[in-house]
Amino acid sequence: MTPTIIIPEQGAPGVFAASSYVVLDRCAVTRDKVDINLAVACMMAAYFVYGIEYPRKLKCTLLFLERYVCHLPTAGKLPARVSQMYTLLT
């Protein structure tokens, strides 16, 4: 059970302008198409609300989104790779 953002539109001018859905266990979490900002927020909320652990392969990416994009407090120390990525981008 992993929350996923689906961008169904082909040929959209960019991922940020595209309409998206968030699905969890093959069920839509969002009722209508939402922009990518709301889709990321809904995906992160689904992990929190349903107590879903981040998949191992996505953990650093999701921790980066959690801490530096959504500005959420993180429990415990961030992996060095996440902090290094933030430093490279700023």
DSSP output for 2-38? --EEE---TT-S-TTTS-BEEEETTEESSSS-B-HHH
In this structure, the answer to whether residues 82 and 69 fall within a common structural domain is: yes
pLDDT by residue for the chain (90 residues), tens only, comes to: 789 888 876 655 655 556 777 888 888 888 777 888 888 888 989 999 999 999 999 999 999 888 888 887 877 788 899 888 888 888
Q: State which residues form the domain around 33.
A: 1-53
* pLDDT reported for residue 7: 80
In this structure, the answer to whether residues 48 and 90 fall within a common structural domain is: no
Q: Is the dihedral of CA 57, 26, 10, 63 positive or negative?
A: negative
* pLDDT reported for residue 77: 83
* pLDDT reported for residue 37: 84
* pLDDT reported for residue 12: 56
In this structure, the answer to whether residues 72 and 61 fall within a common structural domain is: yes
Tell me how far the alpha carbon of residue 72 is from its chain's centroid: 12
